[in-house]
Amino acid sequence: MSTSASETHLVSEPEDPRILEANLNVGIRLFASAVAFVFLGFVFAFFYLKALNSNGDWRIHINPSQGYGLATLLCVLGATAFFEFARRGGLARAATRVWRPNLAIALVLAIASAVLLVLQLTSTPFPVTNGGYASVFYGATALLLVFWLGAVYWLETLLAGTLRGVSSTEEVSGGPLELLGPSAVACEVYLAVMAAIQLVFYVLLYLIK
């Protein structure tokens, strides 16, 4: 006795782009706020330990590399600026020739900043136990690296989506660039928050003595 198996094709309903955009707008702002509060703890620790200065151990002959700090800041700001230019000049007008090159530059700068953060952590000439400043320096830099790697991954997925010419919601309407809009707006919010955090910690860790 033979039986014939019938093939069942499951067709998934594409999500409404307006719902997707609303969810991303709310989600990224909640997440960005949570990230900012994480780093707010290091800001508090910096000023509290600096004011307390127990046994004069706040900052003992510690001078981190100004070159790494400034280069990292410039790469982060550059990645954020190039991505915003790509989003406004290319994505908003569905201009692939503007979107892809500027997004690629933003990704390269983002990767460079991640590499510089790793170099900061591995080549700093003082241990994490060398006073309060050293603890804040290593903790803040390590977390900046972790959260910035998320930004690098996000940029890579956006670029990969346009290089393939498709997106996960291509069936909805419009072209791939149009459909990447909500994700790009959310990514820009995250990049802007990370750039602001990087700027604050550059001032704290490299400029304030």
Tens digits of per-residue pLDDT, 64-80? 889 999 999 999 999 99
Which tokens sit at 152?
A: 């690098």
pLDDT per residue over 135-193, tens digit each? 999 999 999 999 999 999 999 998 887 776 544 333 334 445 556 778 888 999 999 99
Torsions phi, psi of 169, nearest 5? -120, 35
Please state, in angstroms and rounded to a whole number, the distance separating the CA atoms of residues 102 and 47: 38
User: Does residue 167 or residue 58 have the better pLDDT?
Assistant: 58
Residue whose C-alpha is closest to residue 159's, from 110, 201, 207: 110
> Looking up tokens 């409404």, which residue turns up?
16
Model pTM score: 0.82
**60 Cβ contact list (under 8 Å, min separation 6):** 130, 131
Residue whose C-alpha is closest to residue 64's, from 73, 54, 55, 56: 73
Please state, in angstroms and rounded to a whole number, the distance separating the CA atoms of residues 105 and 167: 21
Q: How confident is the model at residue 18 (pLDDT cuts 50, 70, 90)?
A: confident
> Looking up tokens 């000023």, which residue turns up?
47
> Looking up tokens 């996960």, which residue turns up?
168
